[in-house]
C-alpha cells in the first residue's frame, strides 16, 4: 500500500544524471559532516527509542544469519525505501521508486523458505508495534531535519512492505487486486498532475508596470 503522506502533485520529470566533482578537501569535509549527522542520529535514537523499536532491531539482528539471501534482500529493499521516503529530508521520494522497491521485495519473497516466512512475519509485526509506539505527530528531533514522527512512518512503511509481499506470495489473486488498485491510484495521480499543469499554464502573466515617464 503506497503511503500518501505529504504527497503533492508534481510535474513528471525525466531522470538525469548529474555529476559533481569535489576536491579532496571538499570530500573530506562532506565525509566529516555525514559522520557527524550519523552520530547525532545514533545519540538521539539511544535517548528516545521505545522498547518496541529496540525489540524490532534486535529481532532483525539476531535472525540475520538464519535468513536466506532472498529474505535479507526483502529486509534491505523495504528498509532502504522506507528510509529514503521518511528519514532523508533532502530527498524527494517518488511514487515509481516505491513501486520498484515493492516489486523487488515481492520477487525476493517468492524465493523465501518456510522458515524465512515465519521470521519475516514476526519482523513485520514487531515493526508495526514499533510504529504504534511512536506518536506520528511527535516533533522531537531524531536526526538531521527529521523528527520522531518521521520514524513512526519509517517503521509503518517498512512493516507494510514486508507484510504485503508475504501475503501476495501466499495469495496471488491478492497481488492482482493490489496491482489494479495501484494502477488506478497512479492514473488519478497523473490526472491531478495534468490538472495542476493546466492551471499553471492558464494563469495570465501579471501586467508590467507602466514606465515612470
**Could you give the angle at the alpha carbon of 51 between the alpha carbons of 158 and 85, nearest 5°?**
25
141: β partners: 147
The CB density around residue 42, as the number of other CB atoms within 10 Å, is 11
Q: Decide: pTM greater than 0.75.
A: no
CB contact at 8 A, 41 and 90? no
Helix, strand, coil share of the chain (percent; to 5): 70, 0, 30
pLDDT tens profile 120-161: 999 999 999 999 999 999 999 888 888 999 999 999 999 999
Residue 60 CA neighbour count, 13 Å, CB half: 23
DSSP letter for 89, please. T
Rg (Cα) of the chain, in Å, rounded?
Answer: 21
Q: How confident is the prediction along the chain (213 residues), in pLDDT tens digits per residue?
A: 444 454 444 454 455 555 556 677 756 655 555 554 545 455 556 768 899 999 999 999 999 999 999 999 999 999 999 999 998 888 888 888 888 999 999 999 999 999 999 999 999 999 999 999 999 999 998 888 889 999 999 999 999 999 999 999 988 776 666 666 666 767 776 778 778 777 777 775 555 566 555
Amino acid at each position: 500500500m503506497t503511503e500518501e503522506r505529504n504527497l503533492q502533485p508534481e510535474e513528471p520529470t525525466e531522470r538525469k544524471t548529474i555529476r559533481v566533482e569535489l576536491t579532496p578537501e571538499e570530500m573530506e569535509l562532506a565525509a566529516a559532516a555525514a559522520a557527524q549527522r550519523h552520530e547525532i542520529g545514533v545519540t538521539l535514537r539511544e535517548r528516545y527509542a521505545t522498547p518496541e523499536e529496540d525489540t524490532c532491531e534486535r529481532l532483525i539482528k539476531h535472525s540475520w544469519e538464519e535468513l536466506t539471501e532472498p529474505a535479507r534482500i526483502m529486509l534491505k529493499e523495504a528498509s532502504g525505501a522506507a528510509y529514503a521516503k521518511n528519514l532523508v529530508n533532502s530527498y524527494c521520494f517518488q511514487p515509481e521508486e516505491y513501486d520498484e522497491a515493492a516489486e523487488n521485495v515481492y520477487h525476493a519473497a517468492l524465493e523465501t523458505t518456510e522458515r524465512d516466512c515465519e521470521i519475516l512475519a514476526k519482523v513485520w509485526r514487531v515493526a508495526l508495534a514499533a510504529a504504534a509506539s511512536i506518536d506520528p505527530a511527535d516533533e522531537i528531533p531524531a536526526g538531521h531535519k527529521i523528527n520522531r514522527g518521521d520514524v513512526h512512518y519509517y517503521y509503518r512503511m517498512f512493516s507494510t512492505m514486508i507484510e504485503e509481499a508475504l501475503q501476495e506470495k501466499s495469495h496471488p489473486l491478492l497481488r492482482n487486486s493490489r496491482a489494479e488498485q495501484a494502477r488506478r491510484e497512479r492514473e488519478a495521480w497523473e490526472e491531478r498532475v495534468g490538472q495542476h499543469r493546466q492551471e499553471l499554464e492558464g494563469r495570465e502573466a501579471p501586467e508590467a508596470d507602466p514606465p515612470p515617464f
